[in-house]
Amino acid sequence: MQEFKKEWVWHVVFWLGYLMVKIFIVEYFREDLLTVLVVELIRLPLKMFLVYVLIFYLIPQLLLNKRYLTFTTWLLLLILFAALARRITDIYITYPISMLYFDRAVFWDLGTAFRNLVFIYPVVGLATAIYLMSHWIRDYHLRTQLQQEKLQAELQYLKAQVHPHFLFNTINNIYSLSLDHSPKTSRSLLELSELLSYMLYECNTNRVYLKKEIELIENYISLEKLRYSERLDLRFEVSDNLTDIYIAPLILLPFVDNCFKHGAGDTMSECFVHFNLRIDHGLLYLNLINSVPEKEITSTQNSGIGLKNVKRRLEGEYQDKYELEVRPESGTYQVKLKIDLNE
């Protein structure tokens, strides 16, 4: 109800503003304020009728629904009606009020009738343009909001996918450490706690510090290493110029998770994960390569924690500002990602 009242306030402001401008222009030449006011008030209902038929029926019901032929037919009928109504008004109402204003041609002088439309359709066109612009703005904001909600939903889905298999493996690994009274137990629990805290509470925004994302990945890899011991060849190289660099949350983690879930698996006696990330003038370059058992080559291309999901998120977050290359080869799986983080 409040929105309805607010909208109609703007309608009143528009018509009052139009009247003031029109009266000023006409009165400037005629120097007869009262006559101009009366004539414009008489003409106003026809203009309002034309405007509201257009913006409340023809445009939303026909044009925006792509019923172009029907819209064109009704628009032509509306123009014909406007010409006829304006001529009737001029001959029988406004002409007796001010003989100086109008050319008293014969009623069926179509040339005069349609020339008079020139005085009607500027305001109709202006009102329609304002309506279409406001409709476009509302539609743009709605699409932006829906896109953000979709990205947030996908982010929550991504988190939900991270938890089950990762937690299961990690808790089992920590349990094994505790049975052996390993000094790594407390450190592993702390890393797991920090990782979950970050994922649950700190990455619920559009952008996060890249440095925090790297810390998340380090904790993740550290916990995954528990089940590989010495048979994992890990190279983790990150440039040190990460200060004040922002990135969409959990964009990089799925690629790393894919290395462990489908790459450096339990079936391989020796495996490797090489992670290289650098920043150059606001451009992020990630080169990630890992060993893959031969039977996993096909399945890894679109698997892992929401790998398809993260591709959609990349498109939603960065659109044409990223490049992703995924290359599954014999015995290896490589990901090359470039993101322009300049925003």
Query: Which CATH number covers residue 187?
Result: 3.30.565.10
Instruction: Name every residue whose Cβ is closer than 8 Å to that of residue 299 and which is 6 or more positions away in sequence.
Output: 262
Tell me how crowded residue 167 is: count the other CB atoms within 10 A of its CB: 13
SS3 274: strand
Q: Residue 248 corresponds to which amino acid?
A: A
Instruction: State how many domains the chain has.
Output: 2
3-state per-residue secondary structure call for 23-55:
HHHHHHHHCCHHHHHHHHHHHHHHHHHHHHHHH
In a domain, 133, yes or no: no
Question: Do 95 and 189 belong together in one domain?
Answer: no
Instruction: Name every residue whose Cβ is closer than 8 Å to that of residue 255 and which is 6 or more positions away in sequence.
Output: 286, 288, 304, 307, 310, 335, 337
The confidence band for 162, taking pLDDT boundaries of 50, 70 and 90, is low
Question: Do 23 and 159 belong together in one domain?
Answer: no
Q: What is the pTM of this model?
A: 0.54
Question: Do 12 and 80 belong together in one domain?
Answer: yes
- Contact at 8 Å (CB) between 250 and 203? yes
Q: What is the C-alpha to C-alpha distance for residues 211 and 194, in angstroms, rounded to an integer?
A: 14
Question: Do 189 and 323 belong together in one domain?
Answer: yes
pLDDT tens by residue, 132-160: 777 777 777 777 776 776 766 666 665 55
The listed range with the strongest mean pLDDT (24-38, 44-58, 96-110, 126-140) is: 44-58
In a domain, 68, yes or no: yes
Instruction: Name every residue whose Cβ is closer than 8 Å to that of residue 162 and which is 6 or more positions away in sequence.
Output: 199, 250, 253, 257, 305
Name the one residue in this structure whose structure tokens are 């090359």: 336
pLDDT tens by residue, 171-211: 777 877 787 777 778 888 888 888 778 877 777 788 889 99
Tell me how crowded residue 318 is: count the other CB atoms within 10 A of its CB: 19
Question: Do 173 and 83 belong together in one domain?
Answer: no
Question: Do 333 and 227 belong together in one domain?
Answer: yes
Domain that holds residue 251: 149-340
The confidence band for 275, taking pLDDT boundaries of 50, 70 and 90, is very high
Question: Do 101 and 226 belong together in one domain?
Answer: no
pLDDT tens by residue, 58-88: 888 888 788 888 888 888 888 778 777 777 7
In a domain, 141, yes or no: no
In a domain, 137, yes or no: no
Q: Would you say residue 216 has pLDDT above 80? A: yes
Residue 31 host element (H or E): none
Question: Do 32 and 161 belong together in one domain?
Answer: no
In a domain, 172, yes or no: yes
In a domain, 125, yes or no: no
Question: Do 113 and 163 belong together in one domain?
Answer: no
- Name 235's bridge partners: 274
In a domain, 132, yes or no: no
Question: Do 193 and 108 belong together in one domain?
Answer: no
Q: Measure the CA dihedral 11/40/112/101, to 10°.
A: -160
In a domain, 128, yes or no: no
**Pick the residue with more confidence: 258 or 237?**
237
Question: Do 248 and 110 belong together in one domain?
Answer: no
Question: Do 224 and 92 belong together in one domain?
Answer: no
Name the one residue in this structure whose structure tokens are 């005629």: 30
